[in-house]
Amino acid sequence: MKAHTKETQAAITPQSALKYLKEGNQRFLNNKKADRNLLEQVNDTSSGQFPFATILSCIDSRVSSELIFDQGIGDIFSARIAGNFVNEDILGSMEFACKLAGTKIIVVLGHTSCGAVKGACDNAKMGNLTKLIEKITPAVNAVSEPTDSSLRNSKNLEFVDNVSKKNVELTIERIMKESDVLADMQNNGEIMIVGAMYDIHSGVVSFYE
């Protein structure tokens, strides 16, 4: 499999970009990686890059977008931060990736049993992590069940995963609200912005479409 060129990138639609990611995850699950020469791709992309997707994911060591979507060098922009939320810098990076570099899809990728989300559920306090966790607190507050406060913590993994999903949804809302560039591109059909969840037990990525 060759690295993408300007021509192959231009031919990709938001819908086909999503299809490529789904197919890549299926190859990952089947342990059948695409036949690609990574060193050859290093050479092919040395004079330019033409990725088709931008993926915002957590820094969790188990959630490498290139691996779980079976992508090579030059295929995706990968933005990573604990809790996979956006700030001004990440939004700017996404705007660069889509408007200037030509990617066709943004995926906000959460994952099950997320440590950052667990910290938010427990209202954890520790150095700079405190400020980071505060960015996820709105997702905790937006999940109404369970009402029993003794069950609204990191020990309740169902609650944690529901907060993770809500965090993905709120992050997409923020992208649309805080980036006119990306909102216009989505509304014009130039890109697709979708949420997804990676299951750390199975390796399956479930998309919210």
pLDDT, one tens digit per residue, over 114-145 is 999 999 999 999 999 999 999 999 999 999 99
Q: Please give the pLDDT value at position 3.
A: 87
Please state, rounded to an integer, the average pLDDT across all residues of the chain.
96
Domain assignment present for 77: yes
pLDDT tens-place string over residues 38-96: 888 998 899 899 999 999 999 999 999 999 999 999 999 999 999 999 999 999 999 99
Count up the domains in the chain and report the number: 1
List Cβ neighbours of 48 (8 Å cut-off, separation of 6 or more). Answer: 6
CA 161 to chain centre: 15
Q: 178 near 91, Cβ under 8 Å?
A: yes
Residue 209 has pLDDT above 80, yes or no: no
Summarised one tens digit per residue, pLDDT across range 96-115 is 999 999 999 999 999 999 99
Q: Classify residue 134: in a domain, yes or no.
A: no
Residue 135, domain member (yes or no):
no
For residue 160, what pLDDT is reported?
Answer: 98
What CATH number is attached to the domain comprising 100?
Answer: 3.40.1050.10
DSSP letters of 147-195? --GGGSSTT-HHHHHHHHHHHHHHHHHHHHHH-HHHHHHHHTTS-EEEE
In Å, how far from its chain's centre is CA 56? Answer: 3
3: left (phi over 0), alpha (psi -120 to 50) or beta: beta
pTM reported for the whole predicted model = 0.95
In the block, tokens 């639609």 appear at: 13
Give the full edge-to-edge strand order of the sheet including 105-111. 76-80, 53-57, 105-111, 192-198, 205-208
Look at phi and psi of residue 132 and say left if phi exceeds 0, alpha if psi is from -120 to 50, else beta: alpha
pLDDT of residue 1: 81
As a whole number, mean pLDDT of residues 5-17 equals 94
193 part of a folded domain: yes
3-state SS assignment for residue 39: helix
| Residue 103: domain span | 6-114+172-208
CA distance 120 to 52: 32
The pLDDT tens digits for 139-175 are 999 999 999 999 999 999 999 999 999 999 999 999 9
Confirm whether 103 is domain-assigned.
Answer: yes
Is residue 56 in a domain? yes
82 domain-assigned: yes
Asked whether residue 151 is assigned to any structural domain, the reply reads no
